[in-house]
Amino acid sequence: MAFDDILLTLGEFGTYQKITYALVFLFWFPAAANVLAVVFLAGPADHWCKVPEWDDANCTGMGLNESDCAYYKKHLSIPHTLADDDTILYDQCRKYDVSQVSFADAMTYYKEGTNQSENIYDVITCDQGWMHDMALSTYTFTQRFDLVCDRKYLVNLSQSIFFVGVFIGSVILGAIADRYGRKISLIISNIIVVLFGVCAAFSPNYITLVTLRALSAVGCFGMLLISTVIGTEFVGPSKRAFVGIFISVSFSLGYLLLTIYAYFIRNWRYLLLSLNLTFALFFFFYPFIPESVRWQIFKGRYKEAEATIRKVARINKVNLPDGFFHKHDFYNSGEKPAEKERDPTLLDLFRTPVLRKRTLVLIVIWLTNNLIFYGLHLSTGSFGVNIYLSFVISGVVEIVSVCLCIPAIEWIGRRYSIIACFVIAGVASCIAIFVPTGVAKTTIGMIGKFGIAGSWAIGGIFVLEVLPTPTRSVGIGICSTASRIIAIATPLLLILYDVWAPGPLVLQTIAALITGGLCFILPETRGKKLPETLEDGETFGIKTQKEKELHSMESAPF
């Protein structure tokens, strides 16, 4: 008896499943918050070179108050130009070499009108650090570690290294979940996120911060992936699409939560500390989160699986008839004998032709999703409003997209829905190539983001429904790993943007349309039972010769 058949008796989405789903729904928050936190942790701010030679100048003796003193020190030591609106624009990466000139002498030259700085001073780079404008009361690690000018690339590098951690976590924790259980993998992920996330808040230097955030990243996507598996494996076929897609709303809510924290906590250390201590509250949820029954059955832990099923039946108020498990041959419903000889590995997804082809298509889907998400971000730029409002708008767009996908995948199916999403994203990217920067281009970018948010949600469903139970977690892990490679390579997109501005949008357009075409290879999974074994995965969605003959007979005219 397949576990989906048992779920039809227990209830496909009863009280027990709803409680479990509500708990694991929250486990996407850490992934969203940690991935996107860099926007607030390393936000840009006005900066200019330090001129320590003038720090001890006696401004009072020259009749200058504190604000005038600060103004003239900056004005006389930093190259500047006058904008069209008469605003003074100061150079952020160069200064005048005033090492041989006192502030008092510079003020004298200025008052006498002989201070032609560009002629009497050499212009040099910021060799003694930077000053940062703290007017917005925001303290970022960009300011703390002077990640500006020729060190600006270190901000992007920190995010690339963060995704290296995600890359590692996607593989390792997916394998742990398949071998040792979903729940223990989820607990390990949570410990990693909180431990290294909190430690990162106390980082004394850039290298320590980047290392600790990368270690935290190992766990944060483990929480996302494994919680998805637990939340959907307990749900029956007719409800699985809804819960599998709706859980991605949690990602959008996660960075809306981040936005609230960042709005009120403007210090990067306190922001990191507050976020990760919040995620420590998740440890109180684990007594109420069950181990996957599908995994227990596959591992031959029938007694544990039976106990879990009876608990579900009790909470769902379902009476199981006497001899229910023996009647349906429950103790022989797990893996085939050949599969018991060894633990399944990633290679099992590539041993047979059908699974291999489908796995490759799923990997391409996840690659394209990440490529377009970051590509649209680079192409559309800011919304023209402050960063906090921008995040809110992005979150709302994604939530609307996901919510509309839920009825769409039931009406027209998973396959055609994801194809439509890729077409929307691809066409939007194509149009954006020819639209000048401004409100129109931003609007088109949001349409593209709408499409890619939908394809992300449906792509996650496909992995869960196409891959068999023994390799489901590791399959999600490899797809996520592949998508992380694109995230790590994001700085390469920046280089392409500088070389040929339309480049990223052209790449996104091609990738979206090709991937949409490849989706025809995947089977439609709407209302189908999940494949339980590797053999099921190979034959899933393929009609046998006998079924074809029967269908031919039924459709033949009489």
CA-closest candidate to residue 334, choices 10, 12, 1: 1
In a domain, 465, yes or no: yes
Q: Are residues 218 and 295 part of one domain?
A: yes
In a domain, 145, yes or no: no
CB 144 within 8 A of CB 468: no
248 burial via Cβ count (<10 Å: 0-12, 13-18, 19+):
buried
Q: Are residues 369 and 265 part of one domain?
A: no
Q: Are residues 385 and 284 part of one domain?
A: no
Measured CA to CA, the distance from residue 487 to residue 164 in angstroms comes to: 9
DSSP code per residue over 507-543: HHHHHHHHHHHHGGGSPP-TTPPPP-SHHHHHHTT--
Largest pairwise CA distance in the chain: 111
Q: Are residues 527 and 441 part of one domain?
A: yes
Q: Are residues 12 and 78 part of one domain?
A: no
Q: What is the pLDDT of residues 327-361, one digit of tens each?
A: 656 666 554 444 444 566 778 888 889 999 999 99
User: Cβ contacts of residue 43 below 8 Å, gap of 6+?
Assistant: 138, 140, 142, 387
In a domain, 553, yes or no: no
Q: Token pair of 59, please?
A: 């401004």
Q: Are residues 35 and 90 part of one domain?
A: no
How much is the pLDDT for 344?
66
Q: Which residues constitute the domain of residue 471?
A: 344-539
pTM of the model: 0.77
In a domain, 382, yes or no: yes
Q: Are residues 374 and 294 part of one domain?
A: no
In a domain, 338, yes or no: no
Domain count, the chain: 3
How much is the pLDDT for 400?
92
Q: Are residues 277 and 156 part of one domain?
A: yes
Q: Which residues of 184-198 are buried (b: 16+ CB within 10 A; e: fewer)?
A: ebbbbbbebbbbbbb
Q: Would strands 130-132 and 47-49 be described as parallel, antiparallel, or unpaired?
A: antiparallel
Measured CA to CA, the distance from residue 401 to residue 395 in angstroms comes to: 10
Q: Token pair of 77, please?
A: 């030591």
Q: Which residues of 7-44 are buried (b: 16+ CB within 10 A; e: fewer)?
A: bebbbbbbebbbebbebbbbbbbbbbbbbbbbbbbbbe
CATH at residue 224:
1.20.1250.20
Q: Token pair of 45, please?
A: 């701010």
**pLDDT < 50 regions, the chain:** 335-341, 381, 545-556, 558
Q: Are residues 168 and 74 part of one domain?
A: no
In a domain, 277, yes or no: yes
**Vertex 209: Cα angle to 207 and 212 (nearest 5):** 105
Q: Are residues 500 and 378 part of one domain?
A: yes
In a domain, 37, yes or no: yes
Collapsed DSSP state (helix, strand, coil) of residue 81: strand
Q: Are residues 507 and 391 part of one domain?
A: yes
